[in-house]
């Protein structure tokens, strides 16, 4: 087993530690991720077990309805405003963190890009990474 993934918000009020390996690492170019990141995409690591995440601190939550019709919950620090993690009503066990919230963001290695159809020419992502117009098939 590799070392745990650790991270948190900019001010340190929220911290996490995850011993699992991510099930996927992806860049998402949907409008919600663009707005949440303040740039052309969001970068995420999704882990298989929300119950195996050690989480300290209290996040503020904001629910949105995704293109799929499912609700996703964005969690951010109420003190510094940093986005930290997401959860999904349709996949309650999955715990997703923002790549930029990692203590070692160099561990992030994108495996796919989702919602390519919403991307902008000025947001150049790795051309070798598979790209999907929406979510990838099953």
Residue 25 forms part of a structural domain: yes
Residue 34 forms part of a structural domain: yes
Which pTM was predicted?
Answer: 0.93
Average pLDDT of the segment spanning 22-32: 95
Residue 94 sits in a domain of what CATH number? 3.90.1590.10
Distance CA 11, CA 53 (A): 20
Tens digit of each residue's pLDDT (9 = 90 or more) over 28-78: 999 989 998 999 999 999 999 999 999 999 999 999 998 778 899 999 999
Residue 63 forms part of a structural domain: yes
Q: In the predicted model, what is the mean pLDDT of the chain?
A: 94
Residue 17 belongs to domain spanning? 11-118
Distance CA 134, CA 68 (A): 9
């Amino acid at each position: 087993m590799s070392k745990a993934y650790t991270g948190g918000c900019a001010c340190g009020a929220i911290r996490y530690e995850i011993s699992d390996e991510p099930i996927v690492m992806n860049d998402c170019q949907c409008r919600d991720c663009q707005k949440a990141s303040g740039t052309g995409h969001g970068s995420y690591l999704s882990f298989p077990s929300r119950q195996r995440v050690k989480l300290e601190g209290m996040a503020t939550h904001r629910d949105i309805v995704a293109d799929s019709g499912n609700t996703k919950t964005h969690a951010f620090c109420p003190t510094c405003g940093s986005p930290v993690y997401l959860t999904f009503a349709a996949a309650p066990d999955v715990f997703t963190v923002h790549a930029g919230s990692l203590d070692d963001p160099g561990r992030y290695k994108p495996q796919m890009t989702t919602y390519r159809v919403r991307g902008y020419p000025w947001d150049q992502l790795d051309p070798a990474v598979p790209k999907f117009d929406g979510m990838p098939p099953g």
